[in-house]
Amino acid sequence: MFGCGITTGTIANLTMVLAEKIQPVVEQLAGRIKASPVKHLDETGFRIAGQTQWLHVVSTESETRERPSRFRKNLEAKEQLLGVVVHDHCSPYYQLEGVKHGLCNAHHLRELKANEEIEKESIASAHDLAFVFGL
């Protein structure tokens, strides 16, 4: 844009400087998430340079924290996960101790819709369940 080159080293250094500057905000965010009685957990895969990476998300009604990781089973710090955790039935979430588990209805509806479309089976339509759950 300005005709100046920028090296990957410069980008890495700027990233470290900015990460240090926002650390107090990150710590405040972690405290607010920890204080929330209900946390929603999810993860999604993506690729960088041909390698699968994972984006882990923990959110509350008003806060969201995203963390990239090379590992799918890289859960949030266990001390942050108190109370109820709502998730998609992914098995690593059940390894969390001292929490109550809730399952995400959006994932249920997506799986039922796929079952209808792919398997041509209908236990209950996604539309019916959305009505029942008020979605």
Confidence class of residue 133 from pLDDT cuts 50, 70 and 90?
A: low
The CB density around residue 8, as the number of other CB atoms within 10 Å, is 7
Give per-residue pLDDT as tens, 47-98: 988 999 999 999 999 999 998 888 887 665 665 678 999 998 888 888 888 8
Q: Give 20-46 as a 3 state SS string.
A: HHHHHHHHHHHHHHHHCCEEEEEEEEE
Give strand pairing partners of 100.
Answer: 84
**Is the pTM here over 0.75, yes or no?**
no
What's the mean pLDDT in 12-19? 95
Instruction: Please state, in angstroms and rounded to a whole number, the distance separating the CA atoms of residues 78 and 58.
Output: 12
Per residue in 103-123, pLDDT tens? 888 887 888 777 778 877 666
Q: Are strands 51-59 and 64-69 parallel, antiparallel or unpaired?
A: antiparallel
Rounded average pLDDT over 23-44: 93
Q: Does residue 128 have a pLDDT over 70?
A: no
